[in-house]
Amino acid sequence: MTKFRPRRSVLYVPADKPRAIEKARTLAADAIILDLEDAVLPETKAETREALRVAVASLKGEREVIVRVNGLETDFATEDMLAAVGAGADAILVPKITGAADVRTAAAALADADSSARLWVMMETPKALLSVAEIAAAAEDSAVPLDCLVLGTNDIVLETRVAARRDRAPLVPWLSDVVLAARAFGLDVIDGVLNDFRDAARLEEECRQARDLGMDGKSVIHPSQIETANRIFTPGEAEIAEARAIVEAFARPENAGRGVIAVDGQMVERLHLGQAERLLGFAEAFARRGAA
């Protein structure tokens, strides 16, 4: 049975801030990323790892809990990953990925720890963007539990020196490449953050752009951003009604085994049936999250 995991809003929370973690329990974010990387100072990382088990346990339930570890090239990565696995995180997010070899290294570390956690990776370096197809293809290996690609748009802008435009036009070809590679190998894609959490109009624009490009959700850094991401990545009533009509039409006895039928004046194929069933599955999952 297909597992529908809502990932419309993915909230970063510093793993060393108990009050922020407590607050996150009350928020409507679909997933929480406890951050051991950028948000935690080097001198407090060991202490934060010790407290990780309590933090993860307090957040787990209907939503996913992910721990972002430090990059594989750092001295902190191994201890971070062991702490995240021991805490029972649903997934481990690895930053600064440069190629498929990094994905396999992270997957091997999870296997060594006898973990069932899924693997998320940050797409935030020029090398990662150049290797995105190979990175996504690693998911075909049963030993690599790769599940999701997370865009680090701030780092991409910094490292490529493209203009940080409001419409993100210089980034669109790369964002599309990531979505294409992800879809080729059955992965989800989460858009990067918008740092100016007070700019509600720009957040709306970025969420709509990300949805139009085919992404599954938006990374957010402030509670005020959650509602916008959830709303925009939730199918509208018209989309849901259209999907139901397609499913109901194919379920009629006279359409059994037919590859193409007419629904409301349009020719619809069985591939549209699969899309409709997926949309309805996520709509139900979103509704359950809203009622939780």
Segment 253-261 mean pLDDT: 88
**Which residue, 7, 113, 17, is CA-closest to 65?**
7
**End-to-end Cα, the chain, rounded Å:** 22
Residues annotated within the binding site are 68, 124, 155
**Range 278-283 average pLDDT:** 86
Mean pLDDT value across residues 49-63: 91
In the Cβ-directed half-sphere of 99, how many Cα atoms lie within 13 Å?
Answer: 3
Q: How confident is the model at residue 288, as a pLDDT?
A: 78
For the segment 19-45, the average pLDDT, to the nearest whole number, is 93
The residue extents of the domains of the chain are 9-232, 237-291
Identify the pLDDT of residue 291: 52
Backbone torsions φ then ψ of 122, nearest 5 degrees: -85, 130
Per-residue model confidence (pLDDT) at position 289: 72
Q: State the DSSP H helix or E strand holding residue 37, giving kind and residue range, or none if neither.
A: none
Residues forming the annotated binding site for Mg(2+)?
A: 124, 155
Cβ–Cβ under 8 Å, residues 103 and 121: yes
Does the reported pTM lie above 0.75? yes
Instruction: Count Cβ atoms below 10 Å from residue 257 Cβ, excluding itself.
Output: 6
What is the pLDDT, as a whole number, of residue 1? 42
| Residue 166 CA to its chain's centroid (Å) | 22
DSSP strand E in 56-141: where?
Answer: 64-68, 91-94, 118-123
Rounded to 5°, angle at Cα 275 from 272 and 280: 125
35 touches 219 (CB < 8 A): no
Which residues carry a binding-site annotation for substrate?
68, 124
Strand partners, 11: 32, 220
What's the pLDDT tens digit per position in 126-163?
999 999 999 999 999 999 999 999 999 999 999 999 99
H helices of 88-186, in order, are 100-112, 126-130, 132-137, 153-160, 172-184
Percent of the chain residues past pLDDT 70, beyond the cut: 98
**What is the Cα Rg of the chain in Å?**
20
DSSP string, 181-239: HHHHTT-EEEE---S-TT-HHHHHHHHHHHHHTT--EEEESSGGGHHHHHHHTSPPHHH
Helix (H) or strand (E) holding 16: none
Nearest to 84 by CA among 129, 48, 58: 48
pLDDT average, residue stretch 210-221: 98
Residue 43 burial by Cβ neighbours in a 10 Å radius (0-12, 13-18, 19+) = exposed
Q: Are strands 266-269 and 260-263 parallel, antiparallel or unpaired?
A: antiparallel
Q: Is the pLDDT of residue 113 over 70?
A: yes
Instruction: Name residue 268's beta-bridge partners.
Output: 261
Architecture of domain 9-232: Alpha-Beta Barrel (3.20)
b (16+ CB within 10 A) / e for 49-63 = beebeebbeebeeeb
Beta 91-94 vs 118-123: how paired, if at all?
A: parallel
